[in-house]
Structure 1
Amino acid sequence: MAAALAGVQVGAAIVATRFVIDQTGPASLGMMRYLIGALFLLPFVLASRNLRFARRDLVPIALLGIVQFGVTIVCLNFGLRYVPSARAALILATFPLLVMLLAALWGRERMTGTKSFGVTLTVLGVAVALGERALTAETTPSEWIGAVAVFLAALFGAGCSVLYRPYLRRYSTLPIGFFAMTASVMFLAASAWFEGMFTRPLHITATGWVAVGFIGISSGVGYFLWLWALNHTTPTRVTVFLGLSPVTAAILGAVLLGETVTPATLGGLGFILIGLWLTQRPATLPDDLTTEPPTLAEIRHEDGTRRPPMPPPT
């Protein structure tokens, strides 16, 4: 359920981003998005009183946050300037496949025929639902640049989804999300400076600010749900629910922008639901081949044996 809600949140954020992106820069919007998201999470983090990490993990978690929230969102926001929402959604639909391939390549997850077929059906469902709208418009060179940017966003996000899991097993979900998001805000603030966010007046309408606020708050909630889901199941099973995001974008586009929901959209949703069901079926063997690579402290035990990682400071 948490992964499904996160998938819906991504679709809603795409629609809101598409609405407001022409009023600000990609990095500026990203900074506002995650600054609001971090401030929204701050009271819950303070209430938990659990924001301490081992020193060796500070830099990796911060770098993952910068890539996940900073680089990824700049690529996505930049791409949405040139790529129609439907086409961007089709590109983002490769996210589960990228996660599955990277997780298998890095030895974090076992590939099964059923899981592969389920992910493929999910991507096929998105293609059926949005393909007739996404593939009819003539593609311009700028749209190709935007398409590459959106694909890079999917690739970076997929890599982070796989690499987060060892840290999610050491620490609570909420502190990791807050720390990673805060690290990305500092990175995005530097990028926003070059866009002139701090040197020129902002030209965002009242409705645009509502969209920015929605994007920020929903990102804080959605990312907490995302990390919680990653901590309770495999990366592929979580990210496959992103297949719900483009369908959500299509439905919201129909409600808010007067776009038509076609039979292809409903048919694609059927493929997505079947694919989600297949990926959630329990396997006879565990999905994870490895839990996490050994740390330097583990390797250096005198007897040469691996030991469980040291618990984080309390």
Structure 2
Amino acid sequence: MKRSDAGSMLSVAAIWGASYLFIRVGAPEFGAAAMGGVRAVAAAGLLLPLLLWRGQLGALRKHWRGIGFVGVTNAALPFLLFNFAALTIPAGLSSILSATTPLFAALIGAIWLGERLTLTRMAGLSLGFGGVVLLVAGKLHFLPQHDMLRTVLASLACLAATLLYGISGNFSKRYLAEAPPLAVATGSQMVAAVLLIGPALALWPAEPPSAKAWGAVLALAALCTTFAYVLFFGLIARLGASKAMSALFLIPAFGVLWGCLFLGETFSLQMGLSCLVILAGCALTTGLVEPSRWTVPFLTRRA
């Protein structure tokens, strides 16, 4: 791998890790719906000129049905869910929970697309979800019942968002393989903007958001959605999807780091161990680490 590609992967991970920091800063002032709407509108406004410049508007028209589904499952709903979670749990915890995306993607791929489910991948799934239980249980310890319920709901919101990412990824793999990634990214943000603009206006905060909150949501749209997508798509073109996806494994580390540095969040030994367990599970599930190639026959079928 070239140094420039390694630097791009590190940049993508650092930027996407920072997204939870920006969400944590902006969500309390905007609210989940308003922040999601502003993010989607701003990202669509930034991506559309790039799409037109690349001459890919025709691809958007051709694949608009599939792109519309991705806009719901990969943008609109996850935006709302992560924003809701940020009202309760720290940015570092959200970023660690988001690391379950490869687990859900692999599980859905096995059930829906008939991808092989080896013993190694099964062990990875079990290990990864065990890490989630360890992480959430550690956060619930000693919490009052009211805070415990809010933490559980926020954690479930993060997991629901990563489940949607897994659905969207497998859907794109099956139905949007021929669509240019930039067209999918732009179209999905446009769909999310259309879906979220109404709720955003209806639930706009009575107290005007501060300049800090506006800066966070605009940075989220410009840096974490637009710029990072361009970098990521370039990696996919040069390295392939599987290698480019390995950048996801670094996101929790950056998410925790930014939360500790800029928000004063605490990082416990329990969080560190849970993060390692989840990432180990993801590595086994995605084949990054493959100690065996045994296959469970009754869980293997052709697509």
TM-score by length of 2: 0.75
Shift of 1:146: 2.3
The RMSD of aligned alpha carbons is 3.7
Match of 1:140 in 2: 148
Q: Return the letter of the residue paired with 1:203.
A: P
State the SS of the aligned residue for 1:280: coil
Among 166, 178, 186, the alignment partner of 1:170 is 178
Structure 2 letter corresponding to 1:59: R
Q: Which residue does 1:153 correspond to in 2?
A: 161
Moved more, 47-56 or 260-269: 260-269
Aligned to 1:51, which of 53, 57, 65?
57
Output the CA distance in 2 between the equivalents of 1:78 and 1:154. 14
Q: 1:78 aligns with which of 73, 79, 84?
A: 84
Aligned residues: 283
Shift of residue 79, structure 1, vs aligned partner? 2.0
Deviation at residue 250 of structure 1 after TM alignment: 1.3
Cα distance in 1, alignment partners of residues 289 and 137 from structure 2: 31
For residues 211-250 of structure 1, what are the structure 2 equivalents within 5 Å?
Answer: 211-217=216-222, 218-225=224-231, 232-233=240-241, 241-250=247-256
In 2, the alpha carbon distance for the partners of 1:172 and 1:249 equals 29
> For the residues of structure 2 that align with 1:269 and 1:153, how far apart are their CA atoms?
18
Specify the structure having the higher radius of gyration (Cα). 1
Q: How does 1:13-28 map to 2 (within 5 A)?
A: 13-28=19-34
Identity over aligned pairs, percent = 22
Distance change (3 Å), C-alpha of 1:164 and 1:212: same
Report the counterpart of residue 297 of structure 2 in structure 1.
Answer: none
Residues 268-298 of structure 1: CA deviation (Å, up to 9, x unaligned)? 776677667653368989xx965xxxxxxxx
| Conservation of the 8 A alpha-carbon contact between 1:51 and 1:175 | yes
C-alpha contact 1:84 1:134 (8 A) present in aligned 2: no
Larger fraction in helix: 2
Secondary structure in structure 1 of the residue aligned to 2:58: coil
Moved more, 213-222 or 3-12: 3-12
Q: CA deviation at 1:171?
A: 2.0
Deviation at 1:104, TM superposition (A): 0.8
CA separation in 1, counterparts of 2:176 and 2:156?
30
Shift of 1:117: 4.7
Partner of 2:298: none
TM-score when normalising by structure 1:
0.73
**Aligned ranges for residues 67-216 of structure 1 at < 5 Å?**
67-107=73-113, 109-117=115-123, 134-136=139-141, 138=143, 139-196=147-204, 203-216=208-221
Judging changes above 3 Å, is the alpha-carbon distance between structure 1 residues 252 and 177 closer, same or farther for their aligned structure 2 residues?
same
Q: Quick one: structure 1 residues 90 and 203, their matched pair in 2 at CA, closer, same or farther if it must change by over 3 Å?
A: same
Does the aligned pair in 2 maintain the 1:21–1:81 contact within 8 Å? yes
Amino acid corresponding to residue 179 of structure 2 in structure 1? Y
The whole-number CA distance in structure 1 between the counterparts of 2:278 and 2:97 is 15
Distance 2:60 2:229 in 1: 22
Any conservation in 1 of the 2:38–2:200 contact (CA below 8 Å)? no
The runs of 5 or more residues in structure 2 that have no matched partner are: 1-5, 295-300
Q: Does the 8 Å contact 1:126/1:247 carry over to 2? A: no
Alignment of 1:261-300 (within 5 A): 279-280=287-288
